[in-house]
Structure 1
Amino acid sequence: MAYENPLAYVLGLEGLALIRSFTGTYDRAYVDARLDEIRSLVGGAEYARLADGIDVESLSPVDGYRVWSETYDGPNTAFDADTPLICEILDGLPPGPALDAACGTGRMAALLADRGHRVTGVDGSADMLARAQERVPEGEFRLGELTRLPLADDAVDVVVCALALSHLPDLRPVFAEFARVLRPGGHLVTSDLHAEAVMRGSLPRLRLPDGTPGRIASYAHPTGDYLRAALAVGLQVRRCEEPPAAPPPAPRAEGEPDGRGGPEVRAGVPTPRPADPGPWEVWPWSLGDLVPEAARVANSGIPVEIIWHFQLS
């Protein structure tokens, strides 16, 4: 059981923003502003509103995605980060038999089918597979695990695995499976949450049927984990991308409206904090609105995903 506290998250943003001052970029006024903001959070009226946290139970991927399958295809910033890059890689590959590993609702299967590949999808959630089959009627979808793919050796020319590997504590068994089902010269394309994003709390979050928040178990895999798992089974790196998160808006000039009907920024006057930071127990980054400058600096340039293109030797 994990414990999550909104005040702890906001203070964490302030801490990360203060650490950035040691890069030589920010001056005394910036540091003083962060410290003043921390004092107001801990000692002011905000404390009572933010001090109560929640206990959160971790869910297995199968249980979590059973719930998430109902809304998985809704707006998802992770899709915005990986889809253009994966399409760019796939556009350079000839059509052939392909595997969408951990296919979910068939997002990657659809991209593969659109490019002429004969698609097989594998997922551990029957609910996700049903939606994938509706999305890609010509595909073949099978229930199975990443570490024991229900495919023969040398079965496919392309494997795509999107936003799934962070649910595994060890990448080596699944990369061995990818290499097993790939033909010599075949291509593996993966995307996942970057270790930096996972460590900052970007975990798959959802509400359970009773309304309580849930988290799908996730692990932070640094870059070296992927390389060690891939190179050991003969997969060579063709490309690696680490797209950053879209930064929050920069502070507005004095008197400039925010475009959303919000308050103006005036020199020397703190921007009023929103009365409601949003459903933080599901979307904790909404808490960044309470400390927008700290959130902007803390998250600036931080990669949100890591995308790989490997080829089997």
Structure 2
Amino acid sequence: MKENPSITDIGEKQTTSIFIDLKELLKGIVLIANVLPVFTGFWLALYFTDSAFAAYWDVFVLTIAGSTLIMAGALILNNWYEVDLDTVMQRTKRRPTVTGNISMNVILWVGISASILGFVLLLFTSVEASIYAFVGWFTYVVLYTFWSKRKYTLNTIIGSVSGAVTPLIGWAAIDSAFHVVPIMLFIILFIWQIPHTFSIAIKRYDEYKAAGVPMLPVVHGFELTKRQTLVYIVCLLPLPFYLMSLGTAFVVVATILNIVWIVVGASGFFMKNDRKWARINFVFSLNYLTILFLMMIIVTLPMFHS
């Protein structure tokens, strides 16, 4: 005899389903990955202005909460607009916009509301931080999602601006970001996103092609994409030397990471399986960024300085 599911079982399944829908809607890993540079920018601003974290804990909460809501709102609006593309691409078919688990109107208003609330919170930190957040939001939602993604291979470069402003938001909540450190963080993130995204585009070539998204490998092929990937990776090589203020240890580690990544990028011309190389390059790029930003935090901890 078939047992009827209990109320508890039904509740657990519904909770799990809601959690999965939210994770897919907010692109969980992407959202978390963008919070780290905001925190790093905030932390480094405290360090270089010789400020105590305890004196700015309320600003920290507003900065992280506000920027997270703005980024979440942008990602939600991206999902709302791209539902037709997500229906075609295998990796996005679980999103609630595709499954219909959440209505499109609800998703639209949640995206708008999260964005507005995030800006309200961030305005309590500084106007400059809010301006950087708006630049990131506008670039991602309007210039990338609404305009360039379906038309131009340059969509990758345009979209990279939105992710690159994140450390500027964190820094500007404490002090003006017209400083060599946050500017270098912006440049590093801007350049990093391009080879990182190219790897995704090669990995997901068939899906992007089926969806009609003009990613570089879809329009111009793998060879050109691999060459451009290597060029952008090489461009990262001199940047740590502009961050000597973070110490020799950081510059050495960052330079080693850059050299290793150049080797990984160049290996694409010798590997027969382009998608296997793209997976390796993608994984390394994630580890590269994580190690780089965590190192910035570690070397500026008080215990590492006299």
Q: TM-score, structure 1 length as denominator? A: 0.26
Structure possessing the higher radius of gyration over alpha carbons: 1
Higher strand share: 1
